Amino acid sequence: MRRSRCIALGGLDRSSSWHIRCHLSEIGKELMSALAEFEKSSIVAIIRTKTSAEGRSAAYALQSAGITSFEFTTTTPDVFDLIEEFSAISGLTVGVGTAMSPAHVVSAKKAGASFVFSPHTDAAVIKKTLDLNLLSVPGVATPTDVARALQAGAKVLKLFPASHFGPPYLKAVRDPFPQAQWLATGGVSVENIKDWFAAGALGFGVGGPLLGGGISEIPTRVAAFIAEIKSVKSGGQ
């Protein structure tokens, strides 16, 4: 019997860390960096703006405040230009969000994205993402969604909208699918980060809570999220 070789990474608990190590060994070198970054920072900033200029300004402000992972959504004008611009910056992990078709995946790859987020589970999108050696993170809401996403090859899933279900739901749905890793997106706040971690989330996609107060509020909001994440990971109360 072939034995899996696993790579050591820090994690919130031994179970989560073991799954992350094994998944990293399975999905290839290029995908390792994106998943390792999610595990390290635990926060992906979602850029969804009405203009590309607003998206660019927000992303640079977030970067200056300490954010290192960015999801630029396809609903943002000139999204692939933004992905190309920010993926060229050393130290940043950049991907596309709201990927609704294989064509979005192809364009994201050409622009330099390293991961693909979708609000739903689409086997064709997942397959194209994996074919192009990008990290696939489809959105799921039900056990049926989870099963379909895993059967299509996804290893990291996004519970969306997370606020509709809550941490207890994530904890319950994880039990029959222990091989999956999870991000929570939609309604995650500084106040409930600890609950999401306890339920088994690897990290979070955050948009409005970071950008809702405008550019001037970004440093304060980012600092609050980062401080809480570090506190929970270090065992703080």
What letters, b where the CB count within 10 A reaches 16 and e where it falls short, cover 17-28?
bebbbbbbeebe
CA separation (Å) from 69 to 9, 54, 58, 193? 18, 18, 13, 17
Predicted local confidence at residue 76, as pLDDT: 98
What angle do the packed helices 79-87 and 102-111 form, to 10 degrees? 40
What is the pTM (predicted TM-score) of this model? 0.87
**Six-digit token string for 132:** 């192009």
Q: Which CATH class is domain 42-233?
A: alpha beta
Q: Which residue(s) pair with 205 in the sheet?
A: 44, 185
Predicted local confidence at residue 236, as pLDDT: 67
Predicted local confidence at residue 32, as pLDDT: 72
Euclidean distance between CA atoms 79 and 166, whole angstroms: 30
| pLDDT by 10s per residue, the chain, length 237 | 333 334 333 334 434 443 444 444 445 555 678 888 898 999 999 999 999 999 999 999 999 999 999 999 999 999 999 999 999 999 999 999 999 999 999 999 999 999 999 999 999 999 999 999 999 999 999 999 999 999 999 999 999 999 999 999 999 999 999 999 999 999 999 999 999 999 999 999 999 999 999 999 999 999 999 999 999 999 865
Q: 49 phi and psi, to 5 degrees? A: -130, 165
Predicted local confidence at residue 10, as pLDDT: 34
Domain boundaries along the sequence of the chain: 42-233
Predicted local confidence at residue 18, as pLDDT: 37
Predicted local confidence at residue 30, as pLDDT: 58
